[in-house]
Structure 1
Amino acid sequence: MKPLKLICYVIGFVFLVSGLMKFIDLSMVNSFDQMGIPLSNYVYFFVALFEVMAGMLLIGRIFIHICLIPLIFILLGAIFFTKIPVLTNEGMFAFLFASRLDITLLILLAFLWTKRKDKEAFI
């Protein structure tokens, strides 16, 4: 199996599960509201929908270049709204520990972005 296919499967799986959990466990809507995100209910469902759709498209390796942009913004938002407060309140090591998955996914998405024109690598 080609490495880029595996990366697509792994990232797609993570976002698919994350988006589905947002639809299943609606108590997470409160966390968006507590972060001070305007129109948190709408943003919550919009993010969940994009995570599910982009996760499925990545697993199917369809429209990869289109999926990457919203996922990168979702990860940057997650770091900004949930991990930066950890950095300011608890310090660098707590921040690095809390953001390890977000940073890893962001690097993998950036890697896929650089490879998006090489369609042969994804087949």
Structure 2
Amino acid sequence: MNLSRWICYAVGYVFITSGILKLVVSDFKGLFISLGLPFPEATLLVIALIEIACGMLIAGRMYVNLAVPPLILVMLGAIYLTKLPVLFNKGFLSFAFEARLDIVILILLLLIWQHIRGKR
């Protein structure tokens, strides 16, 4: 079994579980409201569904070229909205700690994207 398969399983797992938690844990509703996003409940639902659907596609290694870009945008948005304020308010070390999973997942998504683009 090759490495890219395991990376797809791991990335898919992270997004599937994250999306499901966004749908069942009420704390996320408050978080999205506090971010000042327009239509926070609808935004939360859309983000959760994108994470679940794209995570399943990546884990199943189906339509990966279509599933990766939305998740890259989700991760960039998460870093921008939730992690950059940590950088500006608490400093680099706090940011580096808080953003570690986001950054690793973003790198893995980029590796998957590069791998898929290289096969063409």
Q: TM-score if structure 2 supplies the norm length?
A: 0.96
RMSD over equivalenced CA pairs, Å = 1.3
Structure 1: tracts of 5 or more residues without a match: none
Q: Hey, what does 1:78 align to over in structure 2? A: 78
Q: Hey, what does 1:96 align to over in structure 2? A: 96
Equivalent position SS for 2:117? coil
Instruction: Kindly indicate whether residue 28 of structure 2 is the aligned counterpart of residue 28 of structure 1.
Output: yes
* Aligned residues between the structures: 120
Structure 2: tracts of 5 or more residues without a match: none
How far off is 1:118 after superposition? 4.7
Cα distance between partner residues in 2 of 1:57 and 1:114: 17
Cα distance between partner residues in 2 of 1:57 and 1:26: 26
**Letter matched to residue 92 of structure 2:** M
Q: Hey, what does 2:5 align to over in structure 1? A: 5
What whole-Å deviation, never above 9, does each CA across 1:7-29 have from its counterpart, x for those lacking one? 00000000000000011112311
How far off is 1:117 after superposition? 3.4
**Letter matched to residue 70 of structure 1:** P
Q: Hey, what does 1:108 align to over in structure 2? A: 108
How far off is 1:115 after superposition? 1.0
What whole-Å deviation, never above 9, does each CA across 1:74-109 have from its counterpart, x for those lacking one? 000100000001001100000000000000011111
Cα distance between partner residues in 1 of 2:2 and 2:84: 35
